[in-house]
């Protein structure tokens, strides 16, 4: 018992240390890229000018209206939306066929880097508290500086995280896929498992959260190198989850897609844009992504 308590205490301290070394620097880099007091003052104004939907207040009333719109979205999907859903489902299914070989290959090296900075930091980036950290940080910056850009980012991170969390938790409970560390195989399911965590593997929640945060921030910052940089932790997060034997690779394919698409929908809603990702053909598969 004493050894177990010491282990949890060590892990807690490690999380605090990693949070300071991983999340805080990333937040500061983004803030410096949009701060009205830095060299990027014109950039901040340009970001704010993309807020093209008149009447955006980013308050609870707007959140309620937009949540109802989100719930109704499937009834408004066109052929392209259903094709996109099919591509995501197909990619998840195909990845399931190689889940076990990938896990075997990862476990072969005895996971020497289990507690390394990239692995632990990327796992933390997808934790439930990460959206709160970024939301509070950007919201505080907005209140202090009266910066509409960081208010927009805070609102969109909070909004997209709540939508994604609801979808991911619902799917986890309905699908009921066993986690790899239970050693029940990649095709073991206990559908409609509401309690516990052992059968909540699909989709990957950490990866979904990570892609929500990175997608929202990437859509709201310039230049291109910063857009790419903020995706780095989101890309490492699924690697971390597979490496720590908490998820199958296919779990993260679906989780990442959910986080990306929901966050994209939220930002598009406020910028009055069409979707920035287009699936124009399924054979051959043709996907285009608009960055700017």
Give the C-alpha separation, 174 to 288, whole Å.
Answer: 32
Q: Please say if the pLDDT value at position 190 is more than 90.
A: yes
* Helix and strand element counts for the chain (H, E): 13, 2
Model pLDDT for residues 154-185, shown as the tens digit of each residue: 999 999 999 999 999 999 999 999 999 999 99
Assess if residue 237 is contained within a domain: yes
Q: 62 — phi, psi (to 5°)?
A: -65, -40
Region of poorest pLDDT, from 24-38, 48-62, 167-181: 24-38
Number of structural domains (the chain) is 1
Assess if residue 49 is contained within a domain: no
Assess if residue 55 is contained within a domain: no
More confident residue, 268 or 27: 268
The pLDDT, as a whole number, for residue 113 is 87
Residue pair 9/17 in contact by the 8 Å Cβ criterion: no
Q: Please say if the pLDDT value at position 46 is more than 80.
A: no
pLDDT band at 209 (very low <50, low <70, confident <90, very high): very high
**Closest to 47 in 3D by CA, of 209, 197, 156:** 156
Angle 128-165-91 (CA atoms, 0-180°, nearest 5)? Answer: 110
Residue 210: domain span: 2-44+60-289
Assess if residue 53 is contained within a domain: no
Q: 192 — phi, psi (to 5°)?
A: 60, 45
The mean per-residue pLDDT over the stretch 137-156 comes to 92
Beta-carbon contacts of residue 256 (< 8 Å; ≥ 6 apart): 204, 207, 208, 210, 211, 234, 238
Assess if residue 266 is contained within a domain: yes
Assess if residue 78 is contained within a domain: yes
Give the C-alpha separation, 125 to 136, whole Å.
Answer: 15
Give the C-alpha separation, 63 to 9, whole Å.
Answer: 38
Name the token pair of 215: 């997608």
Residue pair 158/150 in contact by the 8 Å Cβ criterion: no
Name the token pair of 117: 């900075």
pLDDT band at 112 (very low <50, low <70, confident <90, very high): confident
Rg (CA), the chain: 20
Assess if residue 124 is contained within a domain: yes
Region of poorest pLDDT, from 37-46, 66-75, 106-115, 248-257: 37-46
Assess if residue 50 is contained within a domain: no
Residue pair 209/131 in contact by the 8 Å Cβ criterion: yes
Give the C-alpha separation, 278 to 81, whole Å.
Answer: 9
CA 262, 264, 268, 274 dihedral sign is negative
The mean per-residue pLDDT over the stretch 19-30 comes to 55
């Amino acid at each position: 018992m004493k050894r177990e308590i010491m282990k949890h205490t060590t892990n807690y301290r490690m999380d605090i240390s990693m949070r300071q070394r991983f999340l805080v620097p990333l937040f500061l880099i983004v803030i410096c890229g949009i701060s009205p007091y830095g060299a990027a003052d014109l950039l901040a104004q340009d970001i704010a000018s993309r807020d093209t939907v008149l009447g955006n207040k980013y308050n609870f009333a707007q959140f309620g209206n937009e949540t109802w719109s989100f719930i109704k979205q499937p009834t408004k999907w066109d052929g392209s939306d259903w094709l996109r859903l099919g591509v995501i489902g197909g990619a998840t299914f195909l990845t399931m066929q190689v889940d076990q070989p990938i896990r075997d290959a990862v476990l072969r090296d005895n996971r020497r880097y289990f507690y390394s900075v990239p692995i632990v930091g990327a796992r933390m980036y997808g934790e439930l508290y990460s959206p709160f950290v970024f939301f509070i940080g950007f919201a505080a910056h907005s209140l202090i500086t009266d910066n509409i850009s960081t208010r927009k980012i805070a609102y969109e991170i909070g909004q997209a995280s709540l939508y994604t969390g609801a979808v991911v938790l619902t799917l986890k409970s309905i699908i009921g896929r066993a986690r790899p560390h239970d050693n029940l195989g990649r095709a073991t399911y206990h559908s409609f498992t509401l309690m516990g965590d052992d059968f909540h593997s699909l989709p990957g929640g950490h990866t979904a959260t990570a892609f929500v945060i990175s997608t929202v921030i990437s859509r709201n910052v310039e230049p291109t190198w910063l857009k790419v940089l903020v995706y780095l932790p989101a890309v490492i997060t699924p690697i971390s989850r597979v490496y720590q034997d908490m998820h199958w690779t296919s779990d993260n394919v679906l989780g990442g897609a959910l986080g990306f698409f929901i966050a994209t929908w939220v930002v598009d809603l406020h910028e009055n844009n069409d979707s920035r990702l287009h699936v124009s053909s399924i054979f051959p598969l043709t996907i285009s992504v608009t960055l700017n």
